[in-house]
Structure 1
Amino acid sequence: MNKLFYIFKRKLTHICNLKPYKETKWLMPNGNPIGVYIYNCVAEEKVPVILNDPTLATWYSCGPTVYDSAHLGHASCYVKLDIIQRILKSFFNINLVTAMGVTDFDDKIIKKGHENKTDYRTVAKMYEHEFWMDMSSLNVEKPMIVTRVSEHMVTISQFIKGLIDSEMAYVTKDGSVYFDTSKFPAYGKLQIMQDSGEASDDAKKNKMDFALWKGFKPGEPSWQTEWGEGRPGWHIECSAMVSKIFGSQVDFHAGGIDLQFPHHENEEAQSCAYHNSRQWANYWIHVGHLNLKETKMSKSLKNTMSIPSILEKYSADTFRMACLISNYRYSMEYSDEVMLTAEDVLNKLKFFLKDVVVYANQKNTEVGDYNNKLLSDLQKVKENNLESLRTDFDTASCINSILNLVNNTNKIIKASTTNYYPVPVLLVAEYISQVLTKFGLKLTESSSDNVTNTFIDSLVEFRHTVRSNALKRKDKELLNACDVVRDKMKSMKIQINDSKNEPSWVAIK
C-alpha cells in the first residue's frame, strides 16, 4: 500500500513540475487523490482529481436562462453532466453535493414578458417548470440545491460591494459597476482573450472589463443598492450564489463549452478577486456542442429541436446511449443515423439480458459448470472499464468493451453443445446491468406494462412454436406467415429476436 502511494505521489509531483505556475495557471489542490484524471482547460491537459475529503466533493452547474423551452442541445449537455456525476458517485463512492443556478431574471425574460403581455416572473416560472419536466423525462437527476437569481439579490449586491471595497471594481456615472481586469493579472486563464485593446465603451476603463451591475433603466425591474439602483450582470450571479453555498472554493464547475469564455472566465476572475485566492474552481468541466450537420444547435440559429418532440421518436435511454458512445468534451453529431446506431446498441444489450434469463432457466438435463475463460474475460472488462472511467470518464470505451463481452458470451449461449454455464453467464449479465443502470439507463418497464408484456410473451412463444414446427417440416407457407407476424410486430414497435432455444423481444421507439 505504501509503495503504491509513493508511486502515485511521485507521478503527481512530476505533473506539477512539468511547467511553472505562470504557464500552467492551474494549481494542484492540497488533499487526497481519488485516482481519477480529468481534462482541465486551465492546465490544458488531464490532471488528477484531488479532494480535501476523499469521499466528498462540491459540484455546481450553470443552469438555464428560462426565457424559452429547452432544446436538444441542452439535453445533450445535462445528460452528459448527469452521467459524469453518476460515475463519481457510483463507481468512485464520492458524496457529491450538487447545485445548479437558474437565471430567472434577464433581458430575454423581460422581453418575452413584454411580448406575451405578462409579468417576467410568470414567464420564468413557466419555463423553469418545463425545464425540470424535460430533465425528468431524460432521467437527469435534479441537483440537491437550486439557486435562482431573483432569490439572491442581497447576496449578489454584497458580493459586488466586496469587490468595490477592495478596488477590484469601479462604479460609473450611470450607477453601473465594472470589474477592473487590469488589476487581475491572471485574467484569460481559461481561454486566451480575444481582444484586450482600447475600451469601446466610455464607461469602461479597459476593453475587457465586464459589468457586475447594470445601472437603472426606465421600464425595467430594478433593486436599490449603496451605489445606486439597477440590476445584476449575468456573470456575477453564479459567483455570488456558489460562494454563498460552497464558500471560497468549489471542486467541480460545469457547463457547456460556449460558457468557457466569457462567462466562466469572468466567474473565475471575480471570485478569485473576492476571496483573495489564486484558484476558485479546481476543475472546470465543459461539454461539447450538439451539432446538426456540423452546425451547433442553438436558439439564435433557429435550428433547435424540442426535447418532447425527440422523445416521441426515440426513447430517453436511446438518447442517453448516444451520449455514452460519444466523448463528453467534443461535439456530438445529431442525426437519425447516430440515433439508430445508439438504438441498435441498446437493443442488443436488452436482447442479451433477456436471452441470459432464458438460457439460465432452460429445461435440459445438463449440469451447470464454470467457464474459466468467460470469468477471466469478465474480470478484465471490469478492470479495463474502471480504468477508462478513471481517465476522463471514457464511457465510449466502456460500452465498446461491454459489447465485446456480450459477443463472447453469446457464443456460449448459442453454441449447440452440451456444455451449460449458467453461473458465469449470469455474472456477466449482472455486471452489464449494473453498469448500464449506474450510467442512468432505466432498462425496465413500468408496472402498468405488465399485462401487455405478458400478452406479448404469450404471442411470441406461440409464434416460436409454430415457426419451429414449420422449420422441421420445411413449410414455406407457415414460415412466411411467421415472418408477417414478426414484421407486423416490428411496425407496432416490438422487435422479436429468433433463437434456436427460446425467442426474446424488446420494445423499440
Structure 2
Amino acid sequence: MRQFLLIKRNLSHVCKLKPYKDTKWLMPDGNPTGIYIYSCVAGDRVPVILKDPTIATWYSCGPTVYDSTHIGHASCYVKLDIIQRILKWFFNIKLVTAIGITDIDDKIIKKSQQLKTDYQTIAKQYEQEFWLDMANLNVDKPMIIARVSEHINSIEKFIKNLIDSNMAYVVEDSSVYFDTSKYPLYGKLQQVQENGEPSDEFKRNKMDFVLWKGQKPGQPCWKTSWGEGRPGWHIECSAMVSKLFGSQLDFHAGGIDLKFPHHENEEAQSCAFHNTNQWANYWIHVGHLNLKDIKMSKSIQNTISIPSLLEKYSADTFRMACLLSNYKHPMEYSDDMMKMAQDIVMKIKFFLKDSNVYVNKTMSDRATYNYKLLNELQMTEERNLEALKADFDTATCVNSLLNLISSANTTIKLNKNEYCPVSVTLIANYVVDMLTKFGLKLVDSSEENISSSVVDTLVDFRHLVRKNAIQGKNKELLTACDIVRDRMKCVKIQINDSDTPSWIYVK
C-alpha cells in the first residue's frame, strides 16, 4: 500500500501535469496500469488508472445511420479498434465495450421523407451496412450495442432528473434545455464558442443546448411528463452510458469533430446528473481523414465508400496505414500513402514466407544460436511495449518490427555459413503475434482461391530459368522472366526474387 501511494504521489511529476489547482482533470483513485494517454482536459499525457486493475469500461459514439459509411469513419473505428486490442492483448485488461447507434435523428427523418419510407427501415438498412463494413475491416464488434430508440425510457428519466434538480428547463414548445449557467465547469474539454441550436429564441443563455426536442408535425415522437417530442443528440449517449456503466466511465471515444459540442455537452449533463466533477476519465479523439488537406465529408460529396476502398486495397493495407499514423492527428489519404502501407505488408509477408523456407531447408551444417539476433529481438520487445505505454505509439512499433525483419533477412539471405532456425523462428513468431494483436490477418481470403501448387510450380520454374539466364548472361531469357513477373502482377501475384523465391497475393 505504501508503495502504491508513493507511485501515485509521483505520477503528476512523471506526466508533467499542470499543478492540480490549474487543471480540470482529476486523477482517478485506483491502480496505475503503466499506460499514459493524452487528455484534452489536462492538455498533456496522464496516467491510466483503473478502479479494478484488470477491468475497464469503454464507450464509442457510433454512427447516425442515415447513409453509407465512408473511409473517414473507417479510419476512426479502425484506430479505436487498434487501441482496444492493445489494452486487451498487450496489457491484459478485460475491456467491456459499448457503442451507441443514433437511429432517430433529423437526418434520418429527412431521408425517410425523401424516400417515403419509415425512418426505422432507413436506420436498420444503414446499420446493417455499417456492421458489414466493420466486419470487412476486421473491426471487433462491441459487446454492447445501444440504440437510441430502445432507450427512450432511460433518456426520459435522465432528463426528468435534470429538470427536477433545476439543471434544465422546459420551454413553451415542450423542448428541454440544459442550463449551462448552473454548471461552472462548462468548457472543460474545449474552449467554448457560441452554440447555435434550433429554437434559439427559447434559450436562457447562449451556450444552453437542447436535451429534448418538442414535437413537430409529421415526425416521430414520444410522450413524456413535460410534453411530446424526441431526444436531442447529446443526451442519448449520456443516458445510455449511465444506464450501462453507472456514474463513472473509464474511456469515451469518438472522432475529433465530436469533442465540441457533443462530448463537452455529454460531460456537462452527466456530471450534473451524477453530482460529480468528472464523468469520463479518459476522452479519446481520433483525427480526421483528409483528402489533400480537405476533410472527408458527405456534405461536400468527396467521400470514398468502404467497398470502393476494399476493391483496391486490402483491409490489412488500410489498417497498416492507420498504424503508421498517430491516432490523434489528421491522416491524409492518398494512393502514395496506401502504396507505402501496402509495400510494408508485402515486405512482412515475404519475410514470413522466406523464414519458413529457411527454417525447413535441408542443411548439412548444425544449427547455431545467433545471440545478436536474439538480443535485438529482446530489445525490440521491450521498446515496443514502452511505445504502446506512451499513448499507443504504433508507428514506432511498426518501424521497430521492420528493423528487426531487416536484421533477420540479413541472416537468411547473406550469412550462408550460419544456420539459425531458433532465432529466425522466434522473430517470425513475434512479428505475427504483434501484428495479429493489432488486428491484421496477414492472409487474404482471395489467396485461398488461388491454386498454390500451380503458382509454386510456375515460380520455381521461372527461378530456375532466371538463374541459368543470369549465369549465361542471356538477356532474352531474363527479359522473358521479367515479362512473366509483370504478368503475374496483373493477377495480383507478387514474386520475390531471392535465393529461395517466394510469392504473395497482393491487394
TM-score band by shorter chain is: over 0.9
Whether the 8 Å contact between 2:195 and 2:209 is mirrored in structure 1 is: no
Match of 2:455 in 1: 456
Distance (whole Å) between structure 2 residues aligned to residue 469 and residue 15 of structure 1: 62
The reply to whether residue 194 of structure 1 matches residue 193 of structure 2 is yes
CA drift of 1:147 comes to 0.4
Match of 1:268 in 2: 267
User: Could you tell which deviates more after superposition, 406-415 or 327-336?
Assistant: 406-415
Question: The residue matched to 2:461 in structure 1 has which SS?
Answer: helix
Distance (whole Å) between structure 1 residues aligned to residue 371 and residue 360 of structure 2: 21
Structure 1 residues 190 and 266: alpha-carbon distance in aligned structure 2, compared to 1, 3 A threshold: same
Distance (whole Å) between structure 2 residues aligned to residue 445 and residue 303 of structure 1: 28
CA offsets per residue over residues 136-183 of structure 1, 9 Å max, x none?
A: 000000000000001111110010001001110001111110000000
CA drift of 1:445 comes to 4.3
Map of 1:131-210 to 2, 5 A cutoff? 131-195=130-194, 201-210=200-209
The reply to whether residue 309 of structure 1 matches residue 308 of structure 2 is yes
Letter in 2 for 1:217: K
Letter in 2 for 1:371: N
Match of 2:227 in 1: 228
Whether the 8 Å contact between 2:15 and 2:47 is mirrored in structure 1 is: no
CA drift of 1:15 comes to 5.8
Distance (whole Å) between structure 2 residues aligned to residue 62 and residue 336 of structure 1: 29
CA drift of 1:454 comes to 2.3
Letter in 2 for 1:156: I
Match of 1:481 in 2: 480
Letter in 1 for 2:290: N
Q: Where does the alignment leave 5 or more consecutive residues of structure 2 unmatched? A: none
CA drift of 1:6 comes to 6.9
Distance (whole Å) between structure 1 residues aligned to residue 292 and residue 465 of structure 2: 47
Structure 1 residues 385 and 133: alpha-carbon distance in aligned structure 2, compared to 1, 3 A threshold: same
Distance (whole Å) between structure 1 residues aligned to residue 419 and residue 15 of structure 2: 53
The reply to whether residue 61 of structure 1 matches residue 60 of structure 2 is yes
Structure 1 residues 445 and 2: alpha-carbon distance in aligned structure 2, compared to 1, 3 A threshold: farther
CA drift of 1:22 comes to 5.0
Map of 1:328-343 to 2, 5 A cutoff? 328-343=327-342
CA offsets per residue over residues 6-49 of structure 1, 9 Å max, x none?
A: 76334215368954445210000000001000001001100000
CA offsets per residue over residues 447-503 of structure 1, 9 Å max, x none?
A: 981662222112111211222222233332222221111111011111100112x10
Structure 1 residues 23 and 451: alpha-carbon distance in aligned structure 2, compared to 1, 3 A threshold: same
Q: Where does the alignment leave 5 or more consecutive residues of structure 1 unmatched? A: none
Structure 1 residues 419 and 18: alpha-carbon distance in aligned structure 2, compared to 1, 3 A threshold: closer
Structure 1 residues 17 and 403: alpha-carbon distance in aligned structure 2, compared to 1, 3 A threshold: closer
Distance (whole Å) between structure 1 residues aligned to residue 485 and residue 363 of structure 2: 27
Letter in 2 for 1:102: I
CA drift of 1:87 comes to 0.3
Match of 2:502 in 1: 504
CA offsets per residue over residues 283-327 of structure 1, 9 Å max, x none?
A: 000000000000110112221110000110000000000000000
Distance (whole Å) between structure 2 residues aligned to residue 113 and residue 323 of structure 1: 34
Letter in 1 for 2:502: S
Match of 1:242 in 2: 241
Map of 1:101-500 to 2, 5 A cutoff? 101-195=100-194, 201-446=200-445, 449=448, 452-500=451-499
Structure 1 residues 10 and 498: alpha-carbon distance in aligned structure 2, compared to 1, 3 A threshold: same
Distance (whole Å) between structure 1 residues aligned to residue 323 and residue 452 of structure 2: 28
CA drift of 1:362 comes to 1.4
Letter in 2 for 1:145: I
Whether the 8 Å contact between 1:58 and 1:96 is mirrored in structure 2 is: yes
Structure 1 residues 226 and 443: alpha-carbon distance in aligned structure 2, compared to 1, 3 A threshold: same
Letter in 1 for 2:505: A
User: Could you tell which deviates more after superposition, 145-154 or 453-462?
Assistant: 453-462
Match of 1:91 in 2: 90
Match of 2:74 in 1: 75
Letter in 2 for 1:201: D
Letter in 1 for 2:182: K
CA offsets per residue over residues 362-391 of structure 1, 9 Å max, x none?
A: 122111100111100000000000000000
CA drift of 1:117 comes to 1.0
Distance (whole Å) between structure 2 residues aligned to residue 53 and residue 34 of structure 1: 10
User: Could you tell which deviates more after superposition, 450-459 or 52-61?
Assistant: 450-459
Structure 1 residues 25 and 246: alpha-carbon distance in aligned structure 2, compared to 1, 3 A threshold: same
Whether the 8 Å contact between 1:200 and 1:207 is mirrored in structure 2 is: no
Distance (whole Å) between structure 1 residues aligned to residue 279 and residue 152 of structure 2: 21
Whether the 8 Å contact between 2:32 and 2:50 is mirrored in structure 1 is: yes
Whether the 8 Å contact between 1:16 and 1:28 is mirrored in structure 2 is: no
User: Could you tell which deviates more after superposition, 199-208 or 376-385?
Assistant: 199-208
Distance (whole Å) between structure 1 residues aligned to residue 120 and residue 242 of structure 2: 25
CA drift of 1:357 comes to 0.5
Distance (whole Å) between structure 2 residues aligned to residue 448 and residue 65 of structure 1: 35
Structure 1 residues 383 and 239: alpha-carbon distance in aligned structure 2, compared to 1, 3 A threshold: same
CA drift of 1:416 comes to 4.7
Give aligned-pair identity as a percent. Answer: 68
Distance (whole Å) between structure 1 residues aligned to residue 171 and residue 415 of structure 2: 83
Question: The residue matched to 2:138 in structure 1 has which SS?
Answer: coil
CA offsets per residue over residues 165-203 of structure 1, 9 Å max, x none?
A: 111000111111000000000000000011389x99321
Distance (whole Å) between structure 2 residues aligned to residue 374 and residue 135 of structure 1: 38
Whether the 8 Å contact between 2:18 and 2:42 is mirrored in structure 1 is: no
Question: The residue matched to 2:312 in structure 1 has which SS?
Answer: coil
Distance (whole Å) between structure 2 residues aligned to residue 346 and residue 447 of structure 1: 16
Distance (whole Å) between structure 1 residues aligned to residue 145 and residue 233 of structure 2: 17
User: Could you tell which deviates more after superposition, 215-224 or 15-24?
Assistant: 15-24
Question: The residue matched to 1:259 in structure 2 has which SS?
Answer: helix
Whether the 8 Å contact between 1:291 and 1:334 is mirrored in structure 2 is: yes
The reply to whether residue 43 of structure 1 matches residue 42 of structure 2 is yes
- Report the number of matched residues: 506
Distance (whole Å) between structure 1 residues aligned to residue 337 and residue 6 of structure 2: 42
Distance (whole Å) between structure 2 residues aligned to residue 255 and residue 178 of structure 1: 24
Please provide the CA RMSD for this pair: 1.8
Distance (whole Å) between structure 1 residues aligned to residue 201 and residue 476 of structure 2: 85
Question: The residue matched to 1:53 in structure 2 has which SS?
Answer: coil
Letter in 2 for 1:378: L
